[in-house]
Amino acid sequence: MPKLNQIIAVEKSVKSRSFQELTEAHHALQKPALLAGISRTYRPKDEEGETLPPESTRVQAKAEDIVRRTAQIMGNLFDVTATKDWANCEAKADIVIGERVLLRGVPVSYLLFLEKQLTDLYTFVRKLPVLDASESWQFDPSADAYATDPVQTVRTKKIPRNHVKAEATEKHPAQVEVYYEDVTVGYWRTLKFSGALPAQRVNELLERVQKLQQAVKFAREEANALEVSDQKVGERLFGYLLEA
């Protein structure tokens, strides 16, 4: 069983590492290009038409994966700080949402810490990328990303045509004007992919964070604050926050 001074010694480095990794995750979510994907295939209008290779870009980052990785990062920080706070004080209270008790006997010092972390977490969740509402999205298991319905567009090519302005006579040649006509030569079939989240999912996460913030504040009001034992609370807290 670790001593309190050992926990205090490692807490600072865990906080620093967690902040760095959380910042990297936040920055990754602010790069739309990493979240976007596309698949395009081309079919010529007829056998003589030009053939073009398919085009595709894979989704490089998925918000749900980053959310869960962030939960692991912050969960580790929650655990280390909890171990220190449980040993630092005696005032404790339960974190309760409705009839559900998430944590029992939480020290007031950890409740204060949790309030700050949940404020940061709320900011993080509020900035999660949301699927474009102008598109209709469905989750595509084969692509492991959200995808739109395929849309077909035409590919045209300018073909020269002759327009006879004046017929030829014995004394003058015909007056011909060349113009170009757009002619359909093929069809693009386009699907858009995205690693962003549905607005409903983001709203659910925000609501859960807010409920947990309120429960923590209520618990702190009840708490009054020494023995060091490892606390594993991150998994339970994020298990609630990330419930589908």
What's the pLDDT score for residue 228? Answer: 56
Q: Residue with structure tokens 């693009």?
A: 188
Interatomic CA distance for residues 71 and 68, integer angstroms: 5
Average pLDDT on 150-171 reads 85
Average pLDDT on 158-174 reads 80
pLDDT band at 70 (very low <50, low <70, confident <90, very high): confident
Choose from 37-46, 163-172, 190-199 the range with maximum mean pLDDT.
190-199
Does 1 score more than 80 pLDDT?
Answer: no
What's the pLDDT score for residue 229? Answer: 61
Does 179 score more than 70 pLDDT?
Answer: yes
Average pLDDT on 146-155 reads 94
Does 142 score more than 60 pLDDT?
Answer: yes
Interatomic CA distance for residues 206 and 218, integer angstroms: 19
How crowded is residue 21: how many other Cβ atoms within 10 Å of its Cβ?
Answer: 17
What's the pLDDT score for residue 51? Answer: 87
Q: What is the pTM of this model?
A: 0.56
Contact 152, 188 (CB under 8 A): yes
pLDDT band at 231 (very low <50, low <70, confident <90, very high): confident
CA angle 71, 112, 244 (to 5 degrees): 30
How crowded is residue 134: how many other Cβ atoms within 10 Å of its Cβ?
Answer: 5
What's the pLDDT score for residue 123? Answer: 95
Does 50 score more than 80 pLDDT?
Answer: yes
Enumerate long-range contacts of 234-237, CB under 8 Å, 24 or more apart: 234/71, 234/72, 234/74, 234/75, 234/76, 234/77, 234/78, 234/79, 235/75, 236/102, 236/103, 237/75, 237/78, 237/102, 237/103, 237/212
pLDDT band at 98 (very low <50, low <70, confident <90, very high): very high
